[in-house]
Amino acid sequence: DQQVKQNSPSLSVQEGRISILNCDYTNSMFDYFLWYKKYPAEGPTFLISISSIKDKNEDGRFTVFLNKSAKHLSLHIVPSQPGDSAVYFCAASAVGGTSYGKLTFGQGTILTVHP
Amino acid sequence: DAGITQSPRHKVTETGTPVTLRCHQTENHRYMYWYRQDPGHGLRLIHYSYGVKDTDKGEVSDGYSVSRSKTEDFLLTLESATSSQTSVYFCAISVGTEANYGYTFGSGTRLTVV
């Protein structure tokens, strides 16, 4: 049972345009959400996070939006750059519950930014 | 750099043999995790640890065991390797602050079971 889903396996975007990566979750206990970026032959690296008490968090070119009623979050990258080409994983955690610290990941979306 | 290393980086082993993967951290973090990454499945939790000799199962723990005899080392053992355990294995530590409950990952171990 996939509690965190990224339904788009891949996304292709032109340099300078906006990239929008989407993620849906089913567990209403999740209250903390993160995005990770992964290059080939490397471990995932933390990108940006958001707590369920917020609906938006921004860090430079990266913005994460959270819609709790729809159980949906999205990552916006503006403007997209070729170096952003990587696999992006959405992750969720129930920080306030007994599963503190454990992250549940989505399947990942491969982003390709063309020059 | 969080000081987390995994060894070996690559390994090929035969079906039925035991295999141990090592994760070593230098920053005295309490929480450590083992994940596997497979196409179409993302990252799935195998086992995790809340401290020395304190471990628990994740969602895909069958066929795996772990040990943590020292804070800095978290070992993952495939008791009798099968082809379905061919995967990339990642160790992670939890940075565990109220500002960021995320992880820092190691570089991964690519395991092939033939």
Q: What is the DSSP string of B31-85?
A: -EEEEEEETTTEEEEEEEEEETTEEEE-TT-TTEEEEEEETTEEEEEESS--GGG
Please give the DSSP secondary-structure letter assigned to residue A99. T
**Shortest Cα distance, chain B CAs vs residue A14, angstroms:** 25
**Shortest Cα distance, chain B CAs vs residue A15, angstroms:** 26
Residue A96 is predicted with a pLDDT of 61
Using the Cβ of B96 and the Cβ atoms of chain A, whether some distance falls under 8 Å is answered with yes
Compute the mean pLDDT over every residue in chain B, rounded to the nearest whole number: 91
Using the Cβ of A56 and the Cβ atoms of chain B, whether some distance falls under 8 Å is answered with no
Are the beta carbons of B64 and B113 closer than 8 angstroms?
no
- The segments of chain A whose pLDDT lies below 50 read 98-99
In angstroms, the CA A91 to CA A108 distance is 10
β-pair partners for A77 = A19, A62
Residue A115 is predicted with a pLDDT of 93
Q: Place B99 in a pLDDT band, splitting at 50, 70 and 90.
A: very low
Using the Cβ of A89 and the Cβ atoms of chain B, whether some distance falls under 8 Å is answered with yes
**Shortest Cα distance, chain A CAs vs residue B62, angstroms:** 17
Using the Cβ of B7 and the Cβ atoms of chain A, whether some distance falls under 8 Å is answered with no
Cβ distance of B44 and A106 shorter than 8 Å: no
In this complex, the residue of A45, A95, A105 whose CB is nearest that of residue B42 is A105
